Structure 1
Amino acid sequence: MASQEIEALSSALARLPGLGPRSARRAVLWLIKRRETSLVQLVEALAQVRDTLVECSTCGNVDTSNPCGVCADPRRDQRSICVVEDVADLWALDRARLFTGRYHVLGGRLSALDGVTPEDLTIASLLDRIGAGGIDEVVLAMNATLEGQTTAHYIAERLEGMPVRVTQLAHGLPVGGELDYLDEGTLAQALRARRPVG
């Protein structure tokens, strides 16, 4: 039997995506065996992230600076914005290093079943960014789910009449797939084959 503190650590780790109770216990045992090196480093890294983590006021990315590293990068194409549902999608696309513009994180997707409306997402701030001018293309990179495609369609309708080209990722993405779980090759093909909406 482990102490309450060790059980609490196991329970906390078991709440992470991809870790169940058994995997969490194995991780805790591994950390305990290496407490002078790995456990100390993990605790310090978690504390540092907790103390410095902020949400980018421009795009919604999570970083340790505001604006985030993507928005502050002068090499990025300021004329194109890639709209994603979540930060994990932004990181997945950026990891592929194929999109050189900036991003906009919606913070979710429209869902009548879950009661998520346009007001619950950052669609208004996206429209403000585009309305300020200087944007030529908006890439709708929603997940290939019913809710993701509904969200993309809604945003495309809101952008009608604005002087921007609206494109979306090619439908080579698997139906029901989520960007964070796709390999770089699939993401690369989807970005290269993006097409106008409508």
Structure 2
Amino acid sequence: MSQAPQDIEQLIGLMARLPGLGPRSARRAVLMLLKKRGTVMAPLARIMAEVAENAHNCQTCGNISGATTCEICSDDRRATGEICVVEDVADLWALERGQAFKGRYHVLGGTLSALDAIGPEQLRIPALVERVTSENAREVILALNATVDGQTTAHYIAEVLEGTGVSITSLAQGVPIGGELDYLDDGTIGAALRARRKF
């Protein structure tokens, strides 16, 4: 027999699908929301409905925006000829927090994966090739995660763009600022050695 009404169990089930929340954490979160119905749950429900209604993917880059074209793509100052390719919107937002990149982005929507049957057509790779030509891009920065699928995707994109004349670069990999060698894994140390530069 269920311990909670069916709609509350349904809410717990939906919350448990969120990253980082299992069934127990979801149950605790729902109980907290029910305790704070007026101050947390009602405003949360309102804003979630608003976001569901108004959030769109930018037609150009794939970022999440309140319009069909996001603020980054509509900002003429960012038409630098540089396109930074990322796996998903979370990566774009992380790069924007750093405030170091002043060009435009292209969100792939994932990585190539033979196991999951994700090929170039399931991602936004054809749209990237089209943008490189239509925007006269000078440089494509492959800011993909250092995973097997991420690096496979980066190599595939580099091959596809080979004949376009665009410069293809990738993010440096290695020792993070403030990092201590003793705490780093072998792969990171190896990447840092290979990417060494003149001091």
Partner of 1:152: 154
1:43 positional shift: 0.5
> Alignment partner for residue 107 of structure 1, among 86, 100, 109?
109
Runs of 4+ aligned structure 1 residues displaced above 3 Å come to none
After TM superposition, give the deviation of residue 133 of structure 1 in Å. 3.9
> Among 2, 5, 9, which residue is 1:3 paired with?
5
Partner Cα distance (1:102, 1:172) in 2: 25
Superposition CA RMSD, Å: 2.0
Tell me the residue number matched to 1:141.
Answer: 143
Q: Which residue matches 2:16? A: 14
Q: 1:78–1:134: 8 Å Cα contact kept in structure 2?
A: no
Tell me the CA shift for residue 26 of structure 1.
1.2
- Which has the bigger relative contact order, CA under 8 A and spacing at least 6? 1
Q: Give the corresponding residue for 1:69.
A: 71
Supply the AA of the counterpart residue of 1:29.
L
The amino acid that maps onto 2:151 is Q
- C-alpha deviation, 1:76, in angstroms: 2.0
For 1:93 and 1:84, locate their aligned partners in 2 and report how far apart those are by CA, in whole Å.
9
75, 78, 81: which one aligns with 1:79: 81
Of 37, 40, 52 in structure 1, the residue corresponding to residue 39 of structure 2 is 37
Q: Which residue does the alignment assign to 2:122?
A: 120
Match of residue 170 from structure 1: 172
Higher gyration radius (CA): 2
The C-alpha deviation readout for 1:40-76, integer Å capped at 9, x for no partner, is 1101100100110111110111222110122123332
Say which of 130, 133, 141 aligns to 1:131: 133
- In structure 1, the partner of 2:179 is none
Separation of aligned partners in 2, 1:29 and 1:72? 42
Identical columns (%)? 57
Tell me how far 1:127 sits from its aligned partner: 0.7
CA 1:133–1:102: 2 relative to 1, 3 Å: closer
- Write the distance in 2 (CA, Å) between the matches of 1:85 and 1:42: 28
Counterpart residue type for residue 129 of structure 2: L
Report the 3-state secondary structure (helix = DSSP H, G, I; strand = E; otherwise coil) of the residue aligned with 1:36: helix
Q: Secondary structure at the match of 1:161?
A: helix
Alpha carbons of 1:75 and 1:60: their partners in 2 closer, same or farther (altered >3 Å)? Answer: same
Residue ranges of structure 1 left out of the alignment (5+ in a row): 175-189
Q: Distance in 2 between the 1:140 and 1:173 partners? A: 19
Change (3 A) 1:99 1:173: farther
What's the offset of the Cα at 1:23? 1.1
